[in-house]
Amino acid sequence: MKALVTGGAGFIGSHLVNSLIQRGDEVHVIDNLSTGNKIQVNPAATLHVEDINSEASCTIIETVRPDVIFHMAAQVDVQLSLADPAFDSSVNIVGTVRLLKACQQAGVNKIIFSSTSAVYGETNDERNWENNTPAPISYYGLSKYSGERYIRLFHQLYGMNYTILRYSNVYGPLQSAKGEGGVVAIAMNKLAKGLPLLVHGDGEQTRDFIYVQDVVHANIAAIDQGHLETINISTGLRTSINSLMHTVKTIHGGNVDIHYDAERAGDIRDSCLDNAKAAQILGWRPQVSLTEGLTYTCQHYFQR
């Protein structure tokens, strides 16, 4: 199979590229390296240093003519989206539309789109299901949901196949201390500098933390399954930020303080995604527990 990964030099993308290479696939990466890192790209992949909004990226897609495109390139920082919604929309909406048009012209068989739990916004439900009405409270969540809507319309107009994967809070090795799931990476940075761990708000807000390799497995499962579906990729388990920090402290060892700061605009209070549809349609279930994943992440971070 010939695959192209946008954002393949980034956190989730670089892990996915490694797994595709291990499968024996031919892999191309488009990344402008604004947040990704060239050294994270598997040397067996072909790296094209371009922005997804450029004409050059469209030409690459039309030249390579991949079977599947994994669209992971995105602006993922909630706070940045609030500060600069025009930039957020230029990457997450316009960039996605340009990619879709290039896919149509190149005859790409399928696009697998990385979306987010942020599309759901605040909810009183214990878990968010895929049929819940999206109500994002940040421009980031809105721009990713807009990307989803464009993908569905491209299918309606041109028959383009797709799977939309809505991730809960992804964490793991190589993650930047930015973005919606960056709390784990921020904690690792604080530990490395001998600084207190940082919590915004009272710490009782909850998240559904999922290990990066589990997300990679879901993307690979979506190559041949989940056509025209929108699917949550999550553990289905709520974890408070206070509980997360306690686990991080236990794994790291030593005396670690926690500093509490003000809540941030655009941050969802509670977020947990139901993953029953992923099990039913993709045959996928998360394999890595939070303690295991945090242990792997901590070991990787402090071995660098």
Residues marked as catalytic: 140
**How far is CA 85 from its chain centroid?**
19
Helix, strand or coil, per DSSP, at residue 13: helix
Distances (CA, A) of 155 to 106, 143, 159, 207: 15, 19, 4, 32
Beta-carbon contacts of residue 107 (< 8 Å; ≥ 6 apart): 65
Distances (CA, A) of 183 to 20, 190, 206: 27, 10, 12
Beta-carbon contacts of residue 74 (< 8 Å; ≥ 6 apart): 7, 91, 92, 95, 114, 144
CA distance 273 to 220: 20
Q: Where do the DSSP E strands lie in 106-193?
A: 110-116, 161-167, 169-171
